[in-house]
Amino acid sequence: MNFKRDIATRTYSGFAIAALLILTILNILLQIGPPDIQRAGDQLLAMSADDGVANAVTSVVVYFRGFDTLGEIAVLFIAALGIGLMLSAHNRTTHEESNYILKKASRMLFPMIMLFGVYVMIYGHLSPGGGFQGGVIVASGVLLLLISREEFEVPHSVISALETFAGISYVLIGLIGLLVVDKFLGNFLPNNISQMGMLFSGGVIPLIYIVVGIKVGSEMSMIVQNLIQRSDDD
């Protein structure tokens, strides 16, 4: 059947389907009483107290479920690869000059943004934050530089080298853990419980998160550069 999306049919059918589904789902959800939740997190919090890391979410992302983070980095890599494949074939000629206020203000803002991004990346195990958030903040700093200067291009070889180094060292840390402690991504650096709350604590966990942050930051910078358009005729 040829369901063309003209205005009257699509509006009424959209409303009808949405109302029907709302009523069904609400009918199911509101009949369940407050559930008796058995939390897996209780045992995890008790185990996390032996690791010496103050942020429980960091220890779950990097240590207890570190293999899922490896998969997520792979997905990000494939997405950046696809975007670079499709969009980098257009020539980018720079014609227009950017705003005067933007140029002067970005000189003051750019170091602050990079400093904040690196701080969030490094203190991921002591306060909310971590590799993903810090990497995206660094990429938005690079974006500020891209739109305020016409002649700036992120150098391809540097980004390539950073990303490769970060990806290889993640797997290398896992393999070294396999050799030393008999667990992939095991903790082989010294981590005392008396060090909780200090910068050097938690063994290999801050190292892994910094590596993740470098990889995510460089990938997002390449995505942003591929998407930006410099001239009006393309």
Partner 1 sequence: MIEALFNYFNQEYVIRALVDVGSMTLFFVGFFGLLTQRHLLKIFMSISVMEIAIFLFFIGSIFNKTYTAPILGDGHTAFVTMNDPIPHAMILTAIVIGMAVFALGVSFAIEYYKLTGKTDINDINEMREK
Partner 2 sequence: MTGIIILFSFLAVILVAFMSIIQKSLPDAIILFMGVGLGAVVLFFVFQAPDVALTEAVIGSGISTLIFLMALKHLKAEHEL
Binding site for partner 2 (CB under 8 A): 55, 57, 120, 128-130, 132-133, 136-137, 139-140, 143, 220, 223-224, 227-229, 234
CA neighbor of 80 nearest in space, from 215, 231, 170, 212: 215
Distance separating alpha carbons of residues 56 and 48, to the nearest angstrom:
7
Q: Which does 26 bind (CB under 5 to 8 A by kind): partner 1, partner 2, none?
A: partner 1
Radius of gyration of the chain from its Cα atoms, rounded to whole angstroms = 24
Question: Of the two residues 173 and 220, which places its CB atom closer to partner 2 in the complex?
Answer: 220
Q: Which does 144 bind (CB under 5 to 8 A by kind): partner 2, partner 1, none?
A: none
Residue 14 CA, distance from chain mean position? 35
Instruction: Tell whether residue 57 is a contact of partner 1 (CB under 8 A).
Output: yes
Question: Of the two residues 30 and 108, which places its CB atom closer to partner 1 in the complex?
Answer: 30
Residues 28, 34, 35, CA angle at the centre, nearest 5°?
90
Q: How many CB atoms lie within 10 A of CB 121?
A: 25
Question: Would you say 232 and 96 are in contact if contact means Cβ atoms under 8 Å apart?
Answer: yes
Distance separating alpha carbons of residues 178 and 100, to the nearest angstrom:
55
Query: What's the closest the beta carbon of residue 174 comes to partner 1, in angstroms?
Result: 18
Q: Which of residues 127-166 bind partner 1 (CB under 8 A)?
A: 127-128, 132
8-state DSSP, 189: S
Q: How many CB atoms lie within 10 A of CB 185?
A: 25
Question: Would you say 216 and 132 are in contact if contact means Cβ atoms under 8 Å apart?
Answer: yes
Question: Would you say 127 and 55 are in contact if contact means Cβ atoms under 8 Å apart?
Answer: yes
* Two tokens, residue 53: 């890391």
Question: Of the two residues 106 and 117, which places its CB atom closer to partner 1 in the complex?
Answer: 117
Q: Which does 210 bind (CB under 5 to 8 A by kind): partner 2, partner 1, none?
A: none
Q: Which does 41 bind (CB under 5 to 8 A by kind): partner 2, partner 1, none?
A: partner 1
Query: Which of 1, 8, 75, 101 forms a contact with partner 1 (CB under 8 A)?
Result: 75
Note the residue count of the chain: 234
Query: What's the closest the beta carbon of residue 180 comes to partner 1, in angstroms?
Result: 25
Instruction: Please give the residue ranges that form the binding site for partner 1 (CB under 8 A).
Output: 4-5, 10-11, 13-15, 17-18, 21-22, 25-26, 29-30, 34, 37, 39-41, 44-46, 48-49, 54-57, 59-61, 65, 68-69, 72, 75-76, 79-80, 82-83, 86-87, 90, 126-128, 132, 196-197, 216, 223, 226-227
